[in-house]
Chains A and B, each alone.
Chain A
Amino acid sequence: MATVELKNVSKSYGTVEVLRDINLELEQGEFVVFVGPSGCGKSTLLRMIAGLEDITGGELRIDGQPMNDVLPAKRGIAMVFQSYALYPHMTVFENMAFGLEQARLNKAEIRERVEKAAKMLQIEAFLDRKPKQLSGGQRQRVAIGRAITCDPRVFLFDEPLSNLDAALRVDTRLEIASLGKRLPDTTMVYVTHDQVEAMTLADRIVVLNGGIVEQVGTPMELYERPASQFVAGFIGSPRMNFLNGTVAAAHGAETYGIRPEHISLSPDAGDWRGRVILTERLGSDTFVHVEVDGVGPVNVRIEGRSEVHANDEVHLTPDPASVHLFDAKGRPIPG
């Protein structure tokens, strides 16, 4: 049972508090993603679980054991770094074996474990190469392989895709997702600032902002029932339209939120009337930016192609069931 518990965990550098009262329970085998804007403390939180940063308040438990003062290597944790952090002077095999050597395993077992991990990640052909002879994606797989060989209870990923180009990022994302399925007992904690990675990989997402947890939930919970205006704006792409003024006031709220995909567009009839400013055509979708009279700029997503062009007059109708209302503090108002 590899559960990770954080109780009132906080982190401060001198007088600067970067994380405050974090309470989380990660279950065994769960794939949890920490997501948030840069500077929200998500990487710090991950590094505290890893043991690379001291915990200045609260308690971390893994499988019920307090871990605050346990050395990183004794926590049963493996980590994949953003920059891969492979040892440049060692071959792929030596890179993957290094941790096992430190754990004083015998040679035969080291070889067996490394080869098993290499097979799983399809890097057997590169075992004798040095990291600089590998491409970015291969290096990332070696870094994951190095983590797998240690047979960790908890697997930590610190923005592992951000150094890869866009096409490779999607492939590697799928590989990490399938890795999560192939290691059903291993708890995965994954840090990213990219909400698409969070939505596609996570069993549960932890949204962090300004050093506190904004919301914890499954991707769909966050999408359908955001606990704050921040989460509503952060989850979902393109982001939710936030409207102030008369539209919001009419619903007794400070802010009126509606996702671009929950607005229908019609050339002749609708609740709102406006003028198209810009269209973005992606083939599968078209994003139409409309300046609505008396409301403000609104982004609308239309499936497939659309014949709407800039300067056209259009009518918009928000789906009333998908409206999110927020008060002045950004808290949701139950609809």
Chain B
Amino acid sequence: MKPPLWQSIGFYILVGVIVLQALFPFYYAILTSLEDGQALFEVNYLPRALNLANYQAMLSGGVFGKQILNSVFVATVVVILSLFLAVTAAYALSRIRFRGRGLLLLTVLSVSMFPQIAVLSGLFEVIRYFGLFNSLWSLVFSYMIFTLPFTVWVLTTFMRNLPIEIEEAAIMDGASSFTIIRRVFLPLMWPAMVTTGLLAFIHAWNEFLFALTFLSTDSQRTVPVAIALISGRSEFEIPWGNIMAASVIVTLPLVALVLVFQRKIVSGLTAGAVKG
């Protein structure tokens, strides 16, 4: 049955509102990043100039390139370590019976209850103690406190849904535990791993508070803090053009990642409903 006209119109208006609400801020950031000087302060909704000076300024002048690499390094290492630990932990938590398994799972989950600000001062002491202050490893360490609980949980749930007979068949075929994980579980868990890995990457990429606290020099900073601390020639000038150009630059990797893994993400999010 074809829906009445007003319903179709209403539907597309609603879609338009949602898309506008989600994309407009980013669109405006792009517009602003392409403008220079006085043009910045005139309100316009269509591009008037195509001026790449802001991008040039950001990428050539100083440490921003290094800061992007810092972010890439931190986020990538966090994702790799989290997934490696989470897959092995999920195997144990979903497949091996041991005393206190349920309690352990709840404990893992409860770690993610604490607001960042609540653990900040204690964590600062820990990081000082380990001599990680102003090192990127301080962020790798602290971000994993938040990425591991959900990667472990999601992957444990996912692995529980994989039929145990597949694993037993692999055992009968003579595969070792490590081979089972690598040859049987990993290929089946790709969608879940891509999804959780991407969420962990986004979290690590966007994190602000720890990055602000644990790093003290410009060349060590990650991009969210770096952008917040971009300053103009005087304290009364906020270089909007540069800030927006930097924001657009750091958004692009995430957009690219999501587009590349789009299909896997969808199947990962609906994985619970699909049988292996």
Tell whether A98 pairs with B170 under 8 Å between CB atoms, given A87-B184, A88-B276, A89-B187.
yes
Contact of A73 among B174, B183, B188 (CB under 8 A): B174
| A52 touching B179 in the complex, CB below 8 Å, given contacts A73-B173, A88-B188, A89-B187 | no
Interface of B, helix, strand, loop or mixed by DSSP: helix
**Stretch of A18-26, A74-82, A199-207 lying at the B interface:** A74-82
Residue picked from B169, B171, B179, most chain A C-beta under 10 Å: B169
B146 to chain A minimum Cβ distance, whole angstroms, is 31
Tier of interface size on chain B? 10 to 19
Is the pair B174, A79 in contact by a Cβ cutoff of 8 Å? no
| Minimum CB–CB distance for A113 against chain B, Å | 13
B171 touches A52 (CB 8 A): yes
A52 x B173 contact (CB < 8 A): no
Within 8 A of B (CB), among A284-323: none
**Interchain CA distance A83-B183 in the complex, whole Å:** 20
Which residues of B lie under 8 Å from residue A89 when comparing CB positions? 187-188
Task: Give CA–CA (A73, B176) in the complex, Å.
Answer: 10
Instruction: Check A249 for interface membership: any CB of B closer than 8 A.
Output: no
Distance A82 CA – B163 CA, assembled complex (angstroms)? 11
CA distance A82 to B187 in the complex (A): 23
> What number of A-B contacts does a CB cutoff of 8 Å give?
57
The residues of A that contact B171 with a CB separation of less than 8 Å are: 51-52, 72-73
**B173 to chain A: which residues have CB within 8 Å?**
73, 98-99, 102, 146, 150
Bound CA span A52–B174, Å: 12
- Among B169, B174, B188, the residue within 8 A (CB) of A85 is B169
**B188 cross-chain contacts in A, Cβ below 8 A:** 88-89
Residues of A with C-beta under 8 A to B166: 85-88
A50 at the interface (CB under 8 A from B): yes
Determine if A103 is an interface residue (Cβ-Cβ < 8 Å). yes
Q: Which of B172-198 contact A (CB under 8 A)?
A: 172-175, 179, 183-184, 187-188
A120 to B172, CA, bound (A): 22
A77 lies within 8 A of B163 (CB): no
A102 touching B175, Cβ below 8 Å: yes
B42 within 8 A of A: no
Contact with A along B189-227 (1 / 0, CB 8 A): 000000000000000000000000000000000000000
By a CB distance below 8 angstroms, the chain B residues around A71 are 174
Interface contact A99-B165, CB-CB below 8 Å: no
1/0 per position for B14-43, CB-CB distance to A under 8 A? Answer: 000000000000000000000000000000
Q: Quick one: which of A81, A86, A103 contacts B168, CB cutoff 8 A?
A: A81
B172 close to A72 (CB less than 8 A)? yes
**Which has the most chain B C-beta neighbours within 10 Å: A77, A78, A81?**
A81
Taking a contact as CB atoms under 8 Å apart, the answer to whether B174 and A103 are in contact is yes
Assess whether A102 is in contact with B174, with CB atoms less than 8 Å apart. Answer: yes
Within the complex, the shortest CB–CB distance from A86 to chain B, in Å, comes to 8
Q: Report A47-105 residues with CB < 8 Å from chain B CB.
A: 50-52, 71-74, 77-79, 81-83, 85-89, 98-99, 102-103
* Additional A-B contacts beyond A50-B172, A99-B173, A102-B179 (15; CB < 8 A): A52-B172, A72-B172, A73-B173, A73-B174, A82-B165, A83-B165, A85-B169, A87-B169, A87-B184, A88-B166, A98-B183, A99-B172, A102-B174, A102-B175, A103-B174
4 closest Cβ pairs, A-B complex:
A73-B174, A99-B173, A85-B165, A102-B174
List 30 A-B pairs, Cβ < 8 Å: A52-B168, A52-B171, A72-B171, A72-B172, A72-B174, A73-B172, A73-B174, A74-B174, A79-B168, A81-B169, A82-B165, A83-B165, A85-B165, A85-B166, A87-B166, A87-B169, A88-B166, A88-B276, A98-B170, A98-B175, A98-B183, A99-B172, A99-B173, A99-B174, A102-B173, A102-B174, A102-B179, A103-B174, A146-B173, A150-B173
